[in-house]
Amino acid sequence: MAVSGIPFLEGRYSPTFDLWPIEAKEFNRIHTFYENLREGKFTTTKCKQCGRESYPPRVICPECYSDELQWIELPKKGKVKAVVEKLGGVPICFEPPLIDAWIDLGEGSPVRHVLSRVINCPPESLKEGDEVQLVVFEVPSHPIEIRRETIMAERVFFAFEPAKK
Amino acid sequence: MTERNACIVGGGMCKWGVREASYIDMVQEAAKECLDDIPGLKPKDIDGLLFASAFVGRRSVQANTAPVVAERLGLKPTSICARVDVLCASGSTGILLATGLVESGMSDIVMVVGGEKLYTPERWQVQYDEIAAIDHDWDSPQGIGPPPIWFALTAKEHMKYYGTRREQFGTVSIINYDYGFSNLKGHFQRQLTMDDVLNAAEIAAPLNLYDCCPLSDGSATVIIASEEKAKELSDRPPVYILGGAQTSLHSVTANWPGDHLGDWPHLRLAAEKAYERAKIDSKEVDVAQVHDCFSISEIIELEELGFCPKGEGGPFVESGQTKIGGSIPANTDGGLISCGHPFGATGIRQAMEILKQLQGRATNQIEDAAVGLTHNLSGVNVEHTIVIYSREPRK
Ligand SMILES: [Zn+2]
């Protein structure tokens, strides 16, 4: 984010000001979620004590407060229950069309629905009942200072796209 | 410990809209209006301050805001001095907390001030900052920081499950703009036809411009005091706070608690708890201020608050039940849709309108209004907050 006129900020990027999570292990104890995403896996945590599966992933079990959790996979395909498209006037950092769907991940999924963007999708084509699948993409990286060194933390995030027929 | 009754004594607000003023300027304007409404009250008599604001930390770069507000308002709080953030329900939350403090005896006279400066020097930031208004790491990256997309999905589901028609939620906007036409402190003073609503710019189909409340700069203030102090301070009939409730069952949209998006169990639960605490039922409410962030929201709220059967909010509004003379006049000062929505100040504006209604001095007066209710949802429908007011103390 180039900020002109404020020399101190010139060329600096503020990740605490943007819409993506700070995913790096130096700042986030569920960094495994993002590492799994890189491998194409959509995951969350399950309690080893009581078996509770919860989404989003956590550090403790929300049922019994055990901190002994394991990673499990979520379905990567779902069906569109409702869809909304914004063809103009989308929030800054998104490109039109901004398509969001309420997606049913099916019975037996630890989380029944997710709200997600649907990308790689022509406008006005997605409808209720359509099948969609997980898609992972890179989002802007940001610097992290570790002692005297600055490293670039790369980031990914997920959306869904129309399932390949 | 014996519990005392808490009363709302008076209130005031500044002009809302896109203001040439900072948050702390507007807070002073609203506090002056409030004390002008209670001629016997001096700043030095106020022992508690709750400042309701969600975005002051981000858009006005001010943490620990309560001492700043106290100082500028000439207050020297000795019982409480804190900021409250429940986004859209921050103001109502301040009122609930002040009620508890007064009922417990910890505070005697609490000023609850809400305020936001949402319009930053560059316009792009106004919507962009909404990424902080929802569950950041999970929902912001999906583009629903600005909430119309979420409520458009909600509208579609309500239409699908209950047969609600586009014109029915358009009616909400027309009625609320009609009420707001005479409210000079609100963001807008205009009237709408159904053609205006249906032909307005599309925000996220099926929602158009007039189905959405605007973001606004603004501030509002009320005084909550013990019954004894309230009677000392004002000759007007006392208005008691009977109680309320606040529920939160989820945060990330994926954990939505209802069977579908038109089903709001967290609001049903809040209503049940609030009516139980206030010892009334929904039929006893004479006037309501419900959170019309979007026209469709009001329809679902009227159902879940028990004012009409589930699924019948569309026909209920269409038949004029929220107008003067209807079974539950709602948003009688214009609501969020016409007055605007400076998050932290909204619940306080609603409380002021209920106060005026129950004291017989509202602009759009409901005859003999004795019990009033305010409701807010927060964010993309992750929390519900209800406060109930009455001319009589709790039974
Ligand atoms: Zn557990």
Average pLDDT across each block of 10 residues of chain B; the chain has 395 residues. List them in order.
Answer: 87 98 98 97 98 95 96 98 98 98 98 97 89 95 93 98 98 98 98 98 96 98 98 97 98 98 98 98 98 98 98 98 98 98 98 98 98 97 98 94
Quick one: pLDDT at residue B2?
A: 59
* pLDDT score of A15: 83
How many structural domains comprise chain B?
A: 2
* B198 and B330 together in one domain: yes
- Please check whether residue B276 lies inside any domain of the structure: yes
Q: At what angle do helices B65-72 and B23-37 cross, to 10 degrees?
A: 50
**pLDDT tens, position by position, A4-39:** 667 777 778 888 889 999 999 999 999 999 999 999
What's the CA-to-centroid distance between B148 and ligand 1, angstroms? 36
- Same domain? For B43 and B108 the reply is yes
Instruction: Give me the residues of chain A with pLDDT under 70, please.
Output: 1-5, 165
Ligand 1 geometric centre to CA of A107 (Å)? 21
B28 and B156 both lie in a single domain: no
Instruction: Tell me whether B204 touches chain A (CB under 8 Å).
Output: yes
Q: What is the identity of the amino acid at B59?
A: R
Q: Are residues B16 and B35 in the same domain?
A: yes
Answer yes or no: is B156 within a domain.
Answer: yes
Is the same domain home to B229 and B341? Answer: no
Domain that holds residue B329: 141-213+242-390
Asked if B254 lies within 8 A of A55 by C-beta distance, the reply is yes
B175, part of any domain:
yes
Residues B315 and B174 in one domain: yes
Residues A113, B128: C-beta atoms closer than 8 Å = no
**CB atoms A86 and B204 under 8 Å:** yes
Q: Is B341 a catalytic residue?
A: yes
To test the contact with chain B by mutation, choose from A55, A102, A119 the residue with the greatest count of B C-beta atoms within 10 A, namely A102
Identify whether B131 is part of a domain. no
Domain identity same for B95 and B175: no
Q: What is the pLDDT of residue B34?
A: 98
In a domain, B104, yes or no: yes
A52 touches chain B (CB under 8 A): no
Same domain, B199 and B235: no
ipTM: 0.95
Dihedral angle computed from the Cα positions of residues B264, B269, B274 and B276, in that order, rounded to the nearest 10 degrees: 140
- Among the listed residues B81, B88, B212, B213, the single catalytic one is B88
Residue B381: closest CA among B259, B271, B251: B251
- Could you state, in order of their start, the residue ranges of all structural domains in chain A? 19-162
Q: Same structural domain for residues B249 and B114? A: no
User: A97: alpha, beta or left, given left = phi > 0 and alpha = psi -120 to 50?
Assistant: beta
CATH classification at residue B60: 3.40.47.10
Percent of chain A exceeding pLDDT 70 equals 96
Q: How far is the CA of B349 from the centre of ligand 1 (A)?
A: 43
Q: Check residue B348 and give its pLDDT.
A: 98
Yes or no, beta carbons of B142 and A111 under 8 Å apart: no
Assess B215–A contact: CB distance below 8 Å, yes or no.
no
For B344, the enclosing helix (H) or strand (E) is: helix B343-358
Chain B residue whose CA is closest to A104: B254
Same domain? B62 vs B13: yes
Strand, coil or helix: what is B129? helix
Partner B, chain A 62-121, Cβ-Cβ below 8 Å: 81-86, 89-94, 98, 100, 102, 111, 113-117
Burial (CB < 10 A; 0-12, 13-18, 19+), residue A76, is middle
pLDDT score for A2: 55
Chain B: residue whose CA lies nearest to A86: B204
